[in-house]
Structure 1
Amino acid sequence: MRPRQSLFGVMLDPLTMDETVRRCLDAVRRGERIEIGMVNAAKLVNMRRDPRLARAVSGCDLVLADGQAVVWAGRVLGVRLPERVAGIDLFMRLLAAAEAEDISVYLLGARQQVLDTMLRRIAERFPKLRVAGSRNGYFDDSEQEPIADAIAASGAQLLFLGMTSPKKEIFTAGHGTRTGAHVVHGVGGSFDILAGITKRAPLVWQRMGLEWFYRTLQEPRRLGKRYLTTNAAFLVMTARELIRRTPSAGSANRSHC
């Protein structure tokens, strides 16, 4: 296994999608546990502002580059990340593998109506998938332990959290072990996409690193300011790190004296 890579002080696992899927399935077969953390440009910015979020993500067993901008920044800064491992793509790959290998899953997140619609669509796409249980993502902090206990009682081997940051990371850090799931994967807004509430960007937009912009076009009031602010901050972070890593002209000249 390739060693972890440090980007902006965050240790990332340089895995491909296929390697990640194999790691997750191996964990189920061996009875091990893996908590997965996903980072994109916005989350790396927010981790600098929110120590609790930073601790939760850094404490995961696998930390993966969910955003194309993270992969590009790594290339600029000499950090080798083989490819983007998008959370929704990993989600779909694991659902397909779970159906094929009779692995049970639990789905936690979204509004109840969205969750119900997604469950119907998943049943159509993966008719043999064993869904151990599900619950909407609207609950108070005081309910976290009982929810984790209910997941454990269901016997689910894979747990998918369709909740926003930092709620899903904090739930994973605080109660991931309690759920008893072998793999805990926070999939963010993937439930809304599978339910048809929001549309995912076309593949060409994804490859160009513009999936965030496509989402902004769908929800400009909610996401516009957020993405513009965090993307600008990410560019500044990358530029500052590049300057920090680049020897100054003066230092270069002195090295030849």
Structure 2
Amino acid sequence: MKEIKFLGAPMLSASMADTVNHIESKIAAGEFLQHVVVNVAKLVNMRKDRELAESVNACDVINIDGMGVVWGARLCGHHVPERVAGVDLFHNLLAMSARRGFPIYLLGAKHEVVAKTTDVVKEMYPGLDVAGYHHGYFWDDEAAVVQAIRESGAKLLFVAITSPKKENFINKWKDQLGVDFVMGVGGTFDVVAGKVKRAPVWMQNAGLEWLYRVIQEPGRMWKRYLVTNSRFAWLLVKERFRGARTEAS
């Protein structure tokens, strides 16, 4: 687990197995971990959103989710063993929690989606203790939701809310959640509940998950990815050029 800095942001050069083992050991020791994944869109948005950047930088574990970031970091000379996708890490941590008897809490999405997700993960991981769940539309009374999480006895909290809301919520309330581990998982509940299909594996490996999302939701996604991907490409060119100049000197 080595920390690197890419495009001005800290992140870990780590494998999935290393990440899961690290998280498991910290939870077992009762040590709090705030987790986040970074992808192309988040790296771009962090440069203009100071609160998001502060929330990400405050995390203890920052994994690379997105082949664009993996390839970009490698192009700039960093060793990155693999992508640690948030949805895959979520499933790995549920399997670990079921094995270790760690209770979890699911927060986010619509009520019917998080309820369905709860049913699905209980079936997928026999023995998994879901201490509680709540939908993601609670902004008029955040303190009550935080209290419910704290009183549930959960050790792991998964927050399926869009960025930057989830990062800022976690960073704001982390000291009052009463859990040992908290992770933002974005649209993962929609995938687990079967509301949204995940891209085929070949598209994931080719770094084309963003394109699959655009195909599924063109009206909402095309502009977002056009802007962020274009900005990321320009930032990558500048970073590579800066590295080349440093090597030359």
TM-score range, shorter chain: over 0.9
Aligned to 2:215: 217
Residues 144, 175 of structure 1: 8 Å contact kept: no
Task: Supply the distance in 2 between the matched residues of 1:177 and 1:209 (Cα, whole angstroms).
Answer: 36
CA RMSD of aligned residues (A): 1.4
How much has 1:144 moved relative to structure 2? 2.0
How much has 1:243 moved relative to structure 2? 1.3
From 198, 203, 206, the counterpart of 2:204: 206
Task: Supply the distance in 2 between the matched residues of 1:102 and 1:14 (Cα, whole angstroms).
Answer: 28
From 155, 164, 179, the counterpart of 2:153: 155
Task: Supply the distance in 2 between the matched residues of 1:19 and 1:164 (Cα, whole angstroms).
Answer: 26
CA deviation profile, 1:206-232 (whole Å, cap 9, x unmatched): 000001111111111111110111011
Residues 115, 133 of structure 2: 8 Å contact kept: no
Count of paired positions = 249
How much has 1:127 moved relative to structure 2? 2.9
Task: Supply the distance in 1 between the matched residues of 2:61 and 2:166 (Cα, whole angstroms).
Answer: 15
Task: Supply the distance in 2 between the matched residues of 1:10 and 1:180 (Cα, whole angstroms).
Answer: 28
CA deviation profile, 1:170-202 (whole Å, cap 9, x unmatched): 011111221111110110000000000000011
Task: Supply the distance in 2 between the matched residues of 1:23 and 1:172 (Cα, whole angstroms).
Answer: 20
Does residue 114 in structure 1 map to residue 113 in structure 2? yes
Q: Secondary structure at the match of 1:103?
A: coil
Q: Secondary structure at the match of 1:107?
A: strand
How much has 1:28 moved relative to structure 2? 1.3
CA deviation profile, 1:42-81 (whole Å, cap 9, x unmatched): 0000000100000000110011101111010001111222
Does residue 56 in structure 1 map to residue 55 in structure 2? yes
Aligned letter for 2:165? K
Residues 133, 154 of structure 1: 8 Å contact kept: yes
Aligned to 1:79: 78
Alignment of 1:63-74 (within 5 A): 63-74=62-73
Aligned to 1:227: 225
Q: Percent identity?
A: 43
> TM-score with structure 1 length normalisation?
0.94
> TM-score with structure 2 length normalisation?
0.97
Structure of higher CA gyration radius: 1
From 188, 198, 217, the counterpart of 2:186: 188
How much has 1:146 moved relative to structure 2? 2.1
Which runs of 5 or more residues in structure 1 are unaligned?
none
Task: Supply the distance in 2 between the matched residues of 1:242 and 1:52 (Cα, whole angstroms).
Answer: 27
